[in-house]
Chain A
């Protein structure tokens, strides 16, 4: 099957090796490193003090005065985003057809020890470039940038957007530096990936690519720079921070990306490697190369541009995607610098040591590996002429298992009983006392968020009646949804750094990355399929469900766990939904709760949120749905209340926030679960129908008229509004 070719038509980058794409490329081919001694005096606390820093002037000189007061993350992102949009020559793309997928690893400090919402950077950028289409914040740590480019391709293939800006950003933050120092992962001098491999340098920067369909790009007279031929995601399911030494996860990601692109390992001309410079990463990557390319491994040029700019974390995959595009355009493989003559002579693979190499290349693979065991591989190739293509196949997708882990109850039976009794529980922590859902030796070292997410995943798995052998587990995906990750671990780590930056709580540090909990789920359940982490506030779960459905539609998975978990003041919880192709469910005798009939997401720029919600309901033809599960109607979301009143005046209205209080991403997932429960089992709380309410209200169960369709509204007010239509199977 030939899918619609998707191409990159613009690139933008700012990092230690250059303030824009031209300067960046010149540095790479000149072998000029951007890594230098850290200028910030606070970093004198550490023995290792080299990093890839971006001079302030490079940023501010590219921003209007009014934007120079923004935080550094937003400024870096804006600079690169605008460069790419300008480079692509984007003109009058309708805002609602212009999407944004941003990869980011670190939460942005908001002062006083607090953090901005993860998606705030995406909102800032989108508002300034008028992107009101799908908006995704992906946070798969150091694989986020590459992951973002892949997700952008999906949004083009599903037809949800005409153009998507995809990229990554991360600044150099003191706490993160302390964490890596505590892990003994930093190199005392400039890093030397693939040669001395003594450790990494951290870096900062941002990069974006403009992604659009080849036919549309040609039609508007744009110059396609590279085709995003495919991408592959995988989970190591091995360790929180260390890569699986066998390279199984990395190998799966490359192979999946090549299958997605319809290519084989023999077609690959150049690999832009992850190449952090740590012994564990570099050894693992060599294994991946040998496994994927076999006897060809030594003759496939592979280089790491982290030797120039350090590890830019969430930006890394995007910066490397830009480098890969430029390598394709210029017919030159950038070098890996830092090799001594002896290192170069004894290298077992071709790491393009120290000097660039002219190379007639058609296919480039860019690899990224991350904390949490997330791996992402992109396949880019020279764009060809327009070609015939087939639409992305429709695939019937069903929800076959639910795993609620809440203060209100643990498991479907307890949740249903609570709903039947009209009980509520604002916040609170789920009681997992005396129960383990993982080997005890692992369980006792886990933080609260991982425990609740693993419990939810196991309960959902059992609820779905899934029994898969080892081969089946290799292809089960996990899409983790969270607004803020583990507050417990973040606070613990921050406190330790504040007390003594040379004695950070390294166990907590490994759980600070937003995808850590998803990684723990994969590790505990032995799941190695496609995996990603979505951080769109309360809309995270509905966006994650979209990603899961796309994975099934694209044939990348038959089963995907959508796992939402979050902590709030005084409460925590997790809800998992098993999302499965209807054919797979039927073949094993599954009993689905509901079918996912459609979904839509749009993003907020300024006012008009009510109209966005109304538009979403209309786009799904959901006005006659039997039930509305409103995400925020019970906690003062007037836009949603007004939109529902206007479009669906006769529908029954429910919402989990009335039952549990606002649990962020978990509220969104629980809303989806309630819609599914209502359809299959007829259990639904009739929560304060359209009466203003500021919090948890009185709840009663309507022995409702049978519900055959439910529209579930997912919202992250001020950022993303979504709607998902569930129907009876």
Chain B
């Protein structure tokens, strides 16, 4: 971004001076607050706190809310209760990905939390698909979303919010209060570490951010996307362009056993087709651009989707979209000038998997 663009977050005044901003979709967010190494280390070994400003927060309410959501969302939300959340894709009729959303069950409908910076397109799509008896409300401006991730994030939640909430079952939601303010607390995340999200009024979020950054390391969007890639959590803005759900490897975010949903026919066709597949790879010192050719014995077999430098692996980590018969772990491919090896996910083993909540 240029320094003249205004950060999306209302909390930015509390950010440190060292903060580096950048554009993510239609949002301007903190890419990092200090050194990415420290922020990444907090995610994987301690606890990090994120200001997820720029996340579209869109409410679907009214008596027809669940019917509409069931049609719009790729996964089955027919029985989603007010105390559960789940992740789903939102598709166009032709199968193109509109966004990946976290769906929070609410007493009078659902709340969708989309990808950072993707609000405009998501909102437009939802409004175009909405029907009678449904109200679509953009609550992005009045609410703030904070997240905690890390193998000891449960301890931060215990000290800051409520120790009992730390052990909430995965994808559970609780309406709670924090220092007299109503909040919605969810056990969910995107880095495969212990993850929690808190939805609060913008005013409450200011207080919470101040307290949270005393307990956890504030981390920016770069570290978050790196950690997401390491556990093969889809990053829509990097992976969805020009690919269908199957090519993305995001089949788990739709449910073709559902009676119907927008884009279902296209997804079924994609499953039936011999389409390219996405596979993780590591190797090389340079980070290749998206679109870089992938070859085997000099023959083009695909292209790079997205790549970064992995701090945990100490090398390049990326995704390649290649012919289906090569989309297997343990193969050697050439990306640009570098030899890389295909991987099975997760590419980094989260410490939380061996860290109990005590």
User: Bound pair: A and B?
Assistant: yes
Q: Is A291 on the interface with B (CB-CB < 8 A)?
A: yes
In chain A, residues 209-249, which have Cβ atoms closer than 8 Å to a Cβ of chain B? 238, 244-248
> A438 — nearest CB in chain B belongs to which residue?
B79
Q: Is B41 on the interface with A (CB-CB < 8 A)?
A: no
Q: Is B168 on the interface with A (CB-CB < 8 A)?
A: yes
* B: number of interface residues (CB 8 Å): 21
Most central of A244, A436, A439 by chain B CB within 10 Å: A439
Least Cβ distance of B68 to chain A in Å? Answer: 18
* A: number of interface residues (CB 8 Å): 21
Q: Do the beta carbons of B167 and A245 come within 8 Å of each other?
A: yes
- Cβ contacts under 8 Å, A248 to chain B: 164
Least Cβ distance of A661 to chain B in Å? Answer: 32
**Could you tell me the distance between the alpha carbons of A248 and B169 in the complex, rounded to whole angstroms?**
11
**Could you tell me the distance between the alpha carbons of A110 and B95 in the complex, rounded to whole angstroms?**
58
**Could you tell me the distance between the alpha carbons of A438 and B82 in the complex, rounded to whole angstroms?**
15
Q: Do the beta carbons of B169 and A238 come within 8 Å of each other?
A: yes
Least Cβ distance of A235 to chain B in Å? Answer: 14
Q: Is B357 on the interface with A (CB-CB < 8 A)?
A: yes
Q: Is A113 on the interface with B (CB-CB < 8 A)?
A: no
Q: Is B163 on the interface with A (CB-CB < 8 A)?
A: yes
The residue that A247 contacts in the complex, of B78, B83, B164, B255, with Cβ under 8 A, is B164
**Could you tell me the distance between the alpha carbons of A440 and B74 in the complex, rounded to whole angstroms?**
13
**Could you tell me the distance between the alpha carbons of A438 and B76 in the complex, rounded to whole angstroms?**
10
With contact pairs A245-B357, A246-B168, A247-B164 given, residues A440 and B76 touching in the complex (Cβ less than 8 Å): yes
Q: Is A524 on the interface with B (CB-CB < 8 A)?
A: yes
Q: Is B179 on the interface with A (CB-CB < 8 A)?
A: no
**Could you tell me the distance between the alpha carbons of A213 and B78 in the complex, rounded to whole angstroms?**
49
- Cβ contacts under 8 Å, A570 to chain B: none
> A284 — nearest CB in chain B belongs to which residue?
B167
- Cβ contacts under 8 Å, B168 to chain A: 246
Q: Do the beta carbons of A470 and B82 come within 8 Å of each other?
A: yes
- Cβ contacts under 8 Å, B255 to chain A: 440-441
Q: Do the beta carbons of B82 and A469 come within 8 Å of each other?
A: yes
In chain A, residues 457-483, which have Cβ atoms closer than 8 Å to a Cβ of chain B? 469-470, 473
**Could you tell me the distance between the alpha carbons of A470 and B104 in the complex, rounded to whole angstroms?**
14
In chain B, residues 327-358, which have Cβ atoms closer than 8 Å to a Cβ of chain A? 356-358
Least Cβ distance of B303 to chain A in Å? Answer: 33
The residue that B167 contacts in the complex, of A287, A437, A441, A469, with Cβ under 8 A, is A287
Q: Is B128 on the interface with A (CB-CB < 8 A)?
A: no
Least Cβ distance of B183 to chain A in Å? Answer: 15
The residue that B81 contacts in the complex, of A290, A291, A441, A526, with Cβ under 8 A, is A526
> B108 — nearest CB in chain A belongs to which residue?
A469
The residue that B76 contacts in the complex, of A244, A246, A439, A469, with Cβ under 8 A, is A439
**Could you tell me the distance between the alpha carbons of A469 and B106 in the complex, rounded to whole angstroms?**
9
Q: Do the beta carbons of B164 and A287 come within 8 Å of each other?
A: yes
In chain B, residues 229-269, which have Cβ atoms closer than 8 Å to a Cβ of chain A? 255, 257-258
Q: Do the beta carbons of A470 and B175 come within 8 Å of each other?
A: yes
Q: Is B299 on the interface with A (CB-CB < 8 A)?
A: no
**Could you tell me the distance between the alpha carbons of A244 and B356 in the complex, rounded to whole angstroms?**
15
- Cβ contacts under 8 Å, B142 to chain A: none
> B358 — nearest CB in chain A belongs to which residue?
A283
With contact pairs A245-B169, A526-B83 given, residues A439 and B164 touching in the complex (Cβ less than 8 Å): no
Q: Do the beta carbons of B258 and A244 come within 8 Å of each other?
A: no
Q: Is B37 on the interface with A (CB-CB < 8 A)?
A: no
Q: Is B107 on the interface with A (CB-CB < 8 A)?
A: yes
**Could you tell me the distance between the alpha carbons of A290 and B358 in the complex, rounded to whole angstroms?**
12
**Could you tell me the distance between the alpha carbons of A469 and B82 in the complex, rounded to whole angstroms?**
8
> A526 — nearest CB in chain B belongs to which residue?
B81
**Could you tell me the distance between the alpha carbons of A283 and B163 in the complex, rounded to whole angstroms?**
13
**Could you tell me the distance between the alpha carbons of A615 and B79 in the complex, rounded to whole angstroms?**
46
Q: Do the beta carbons of B257 and A246 come within 8 Å of each other?
A: no
Least Cβ distance of B281 to chain A in Å? Answer: 30
- Cβ contacts under 8 Å, A526 to chain B: 81, 83
Least Cβ distance of A305 to chain B in Å? Answer: 25
**Could you tell me the distance between the alpha carbons of A567 and B163 in the complex, rounded to whole angstroms?**
44
With contact pairs A246-B164, A247-B164, A440-B258 given, residues A524 and B79 touching in the complex (Cβ less than 8 Å): yes
**Could you tell me the distance between the alpha carbons of A291 and B169 in the complex, rounded to whole angstroms?**
17
> A348 — nearest CB in chain B belongs to which residue?
B358
**Could you tell me the distance between the alpha carbons of A392 and B342 in the complex, rounded to whole angstroms?**
71
Known contacts A287-B167, A440-B257, A440-B258; 16 additional CB pairs below 8 A are A244-B169, A246-B164, A246-B167, A246-B168, A290-B163, A291-B164, A439-B79, A439-B80, A440-B76, A441-B76, A469-B82, A469-B107, A470-B81, A470-B83, A526-B81, A526-B83
**Which residues of chain A have a CB within 8 Å of any CB of chain B?**
238, 244-248, 283, 287, 290-291, 436-441, 469-470, 473, 524, 526
Chain A to chain B contacts (Cβ below 8 Å), 19 pairs: A245-B167, A246-B164, A246-B165, A246-B167, A247-B167, A248-B164, A287-B167, A290-B163, A436-B78, A437-B79, A439-B78, A440-B255, A440-B258, A441-B76, A469-B82, A469-B107, A470-B82, A470-B83, A526-B81
Q: Which 10 A-B pairs have the closest CB atoms?
A: A245-B167, A246-B167, A526-B81, A439-B79, A470-B82, A469-B107, A440-B76, A440-B257, A246-B168, A246-B164
